[in-house]
Structure formats: structure tokens, C-alpha cells
Structure 1
């Protein structure tokens, strides 16, 4: 059978903690149920907006197992398996596949502000991971890695390495890079995707993006935009984007990864919106600003748990 092609809205699920900072796996399941009810075409877990960098390996395994078992095939799940080590990343990716992941998302290897790997090492890194699995790899091209990945190099990876076929582009001038990547890579670029909370969504769709990986607070709003666009109703999509842009902007520029949890707690999806120390709780003024903007749109997240 031909491999499925994943399109649409695949938001990042937050990792849910209680007020003491411990994993709340029951809250995690409720967050996943809400995201599915809100129209997510699929879900990504253990990403940067999931606070993957504050989790132990055992906690990563616990979240992965709990989510994949709870989803039980209702939607495809992408698991982020980023690690500097080629071997560890390959092992994580194989474990994610064995647990039921539909795809893995991986940043290029980096550590801190200065430890980087050149193109030859990055090429071998992705090749070793690909050799360990049978599911697609999404390369996350984001500024946090501090690793320049040209469109031509990404196209070469897609052409040469079997499972490298999806790309989440979050760099400056993302639309231009997506357009060039699609032109250079042709059929090997199965999934050119938008990211960064949809702050560049319309330009990226115009450039040929077929997926959007946003945060998890309002998949229903992002679905309306993307569905209209893919149905050929581009003016309707643009109008919907203008409606939702203040919330997208507030999340992207004012709140970051904490926004999703704040919305979920306000709507009774989860009991605690705690982020893990040393991340700071959201300032009360920012919280009220976020909720004020969100209430104007009446997203499902503010009603789901009540």
C-alpha cells in the first residue's frame, strides 16, 4: 500500500504538569481529547512547545506511551525525537515508531550557542536515523538550532535519504524558502509545512505549504483557515486569518508556549497551567490580555471543559 500523505493542521500538544511540577497524565489525555475534538488532523508531541527540554528520558517515555495508547489511532501522531547524538536520536525514533508514531520530527544536531555540525555531519545524522526506521522524518528548520539549512541542502536530503520527506520551515522569510524547496526538491518534498504558531500561515500557504504545525490552543480556528484555503476559497481564508491573527500574534509575541496551557485551564480542559521551572509563570497582565483576545473569537478551548 502507498504511504499515507499527511496534510492539514497538526498542532503541538503541551506537556501537562500539576501545580507541583509533576507529570499529570490524566490531564495530558484530556488535552489530547480536546485537540482532537477541536478538529486537529493530527497531533505532535514532545516538541519544543511541549517543553521537551525539561523532561527526563523516563518522563518522555511516559508521555509518549500515554498519548499514543490514548489516541489509539484516532489521528496520526508525530513524535519529536531530537537529540544531538545520531545514535540516541535513531533509538528514540525507532522507539516512537514501535509505539505507534506516524512520523518523527527532528532538528539538526546542535548544543548550546556554539556547538554545531557541518553539512556532512548533518547528512550522516539524518541518514543514520532514516536507516533505523520505516516512517517519515520531518526536519524542523527553526532558528533555535542556530544551524543554517539552505533550501538546496534540504532538497538534497529529501532526494538522497529515504524517509526524509517533510519539512517544518520556521526561519525568516519562510515562504520564500518553502517555494524554493518545493521547486528544487520536486516530488521528494512530500510535506512542506508552516510552523511558528501560524504567524506566517497565509504567505506559507501561498508558497505551497500543505500542513500547519501550530500550538494546541485553538485548532478549530486554524482548521477554518486551512480548510477554506484548500477548498479554493482563498478570500474567505484571508478573512478568517484576519479574524484569528490577533490571537495568533498575542500567543507568538507575548506568551509563547504558556499560552496553550492558559487557554486550556481557563476552559476547564486541564487543572493546572504550570510550566516547569526555570520557566516563569505567565504574568497576570499577559494572561488577561490573552484571554481578552481569545474571548472575542469564542474558541472551543474556552468551552470544552464546562
Structure 2
């Protein structure tokens, strides 16, 4: 289950890819099929407009279209996290209000950054998240990932959890993620409602051991990730470890070889979507790498390869 009686979101919330046609235009019908597959594959919830959704390549009107179509099509079947990251505190707050109005269960936000060098101070980051929190009534998940290039110490994250009303979930994707999760949980206590794993589940087992209660992964095989997380959460760590070893080659292929294109390749191969296009100037995956991904996936027989058949 994605929630329990205490209202906390748990489980596997994969990132939904933004579906394009071969010309790079939004394919909203394909987007709906993608959503249906991901729910059928056991996703406890979904996350849209994340980096693996190519949010950085979308125009504002395209973002609005994706939110509208996804929220209408999900129709309450699972909770949806909407990524509202923006450098501007005001724009991020406005995006977050709009996401809440559309029915988002939570927003995910990176600390403000631009390019390789433009950052804000720790005080600036604190004030940024405080302003976003003041604009909404739903939880904020802070995405702590290397792409932002912004150091967020466990003590700083815990302080924001304690002091900023809606900051309560954390997706930790930095090096030594498990150690950081342990420190965050220790320092933040009950204020850290959701310590989560990310980065395509490449560190899933140590992160679960550290206390992670959720995992935000790629969108191609939620059924496989669910098997691992469900076994762990019911107390069968040995079974979870064996399953993790089985699925790790595919996780590794996504994390280290294909990146955000992996789920689209799997979805196209299985007939979920018509095109696995990524938006230019991103380059298509090399045919041999694509072949290798599918070879590894077929050994596991994930639902994505047979969903439409």
C-alpha cells in the first residue's frame, strides 16, 4: 500500500516519462497508456515532471498539459507527486500551488541552482523552501541529488524538517546515500516523515537497511522493484536481497548505460507507447546499448514487455 492509517506515503513511486512522438511533440494518448501500464505494474504512486521525465526540456504550456492529462487520467487510482522545481522561489511556489489545485499528493523540489556555478547560501535555501511551504498545504519532498550541485547536509535537511511545516519527505541520491539517510533519520526524528531512496534503486538494499520507507525509481519495471520492497517491508530481508540480486543487472543498465531513455525503450518494445524518442538535443541510445538493455530485461520477463499483448 502507498499509504497507511497514519497517512504516510510509502512504497514504490516511479518517475513517469514524458511521452513524445518521433518528431518530439507531446503524445498525450501515449502518456495515458504509459500511466495505465505503470499502475498495472504495481506502482504505489507516481511522480511526474521529474528530471527523468525530461522536465528541463518542456515548455510551461507543455508542463500544464502533462499535469492536466495525467491527473485526469489517474483519477485518484494512486497518489501523484508533481515536481515543481524552479530557481525562483515565487515561480516554484506558484507551480506548487497549481499542482496542489490539480490534485497532487505532494510536490518534489530541488534546491535552487542554475548551471554549474549559480547557487544560493544555506539561508537562501532555507528561505526558498519556507516560501514554497507557505504557499501550499501538501508535503514537500526535497530532492537531494548531485545534479543541483548544492550541498545539503543531513543536519540542514533535518533542521528544515523540524522547522518548515510541509518539508517532510526526502529523496536522497547523493554518494553514500545510506549513511546520509541514517543520519537524517537520527537527527530529524518524527519530523522526517518519508526518508526515500532514489537513483533508479541502484542503492536500494542499503537504503532500506538505513530506514528508507519509499523508493522513487525509473518507470520501466515497477513490478520488479515492488517485489524487492514488498519482501523487505514484510520482514523477509533474505528474500528481498535475493530479488535485488536478480533485478540489479537491469537496474544497473538503466542507471549506468541508458539513463532516462531506458523506460521508454522498454515501453516501446512492449507496445505500451509508439515512440521511445527523447527530446533533442538528447541523443538516442546506441542500438547496441538498446539491444543489451532488452537482453537483460527479457531474462526477467517484466510486465512492460508483455503488457499490451
Q: Hey, what does 2:303 align to over in structure 1?
A: 300
C-alpha displacement at 1:89, in angstroms? 0.1
Determine if the alignment matches structure 1 residue 173 to structure 2 residue 176.
Answer: yes
Alignment partner of 1:82 is 2:72: no
Structure 1 distance, partners of 2:76, 2:6, is 16
Runs of 4+ with deviation above 2 angstroms: none
Match of 2:294 in 1: 291
Query: What is the aligned counterpart of 2:162 among 156, 159, 177?
Result: 159
1:26 counterpart = 2:32: no
Unaligned 5+ segments in structure 2 are none
Distance 1:208 1:301 in 2: 29
CA distances 1:98-126 after superposition (whole Å, capped 9, x unpaired)? 00000000000000000000100000000
- Asked whether 1:211 is paired with 2:214, we answer yes
Compute the displacement of 1:4 (Å): 1.8
Aligned-pair CA distance for 1:239: 0.2
Aligned to 1:272: 275
Partner of 1:14 in structure 2?
17
Matched, 1:242 2:239: no
Q: Which residue of 1 aligns with 2:132?
A: 129
Could you give the per-residue CA deviations for residues 73-97 of structure 1, whole angstroms, max 9, x where no partner exists? Answer: 0000000000000000000000000
SS at match of 1:4: coil
CA distance in 2, matches of 1:61, 1:94: 13
Q: 2:197 aligns with which of 190, 194, 215?
A: 194
Alignment partner of 1:48 out of 27, 46, 51: 51
Deviation at 1:214, TM superposition (A): 0.1
Cα separation, 2, equivalents of 1:140 and 1:246: 25
* Cα distance in 2, alignment partners of residues 30 and 134 from structure 1: 30
Distance 1:127 1:262 in 2: 39
Task: Provide the rounded CA distance (Å) in 1 between the counterparts of 2:146 and 2:176.
Answer: 12
Structure 2 distance, partners of 1:250, 1:88, is: 35
1:3 Cα offset (Å): 6.7
SS across alignment from 1:19: coil
Q: Distance in 2 between matches of 1:300 and 1:264?
A: 10
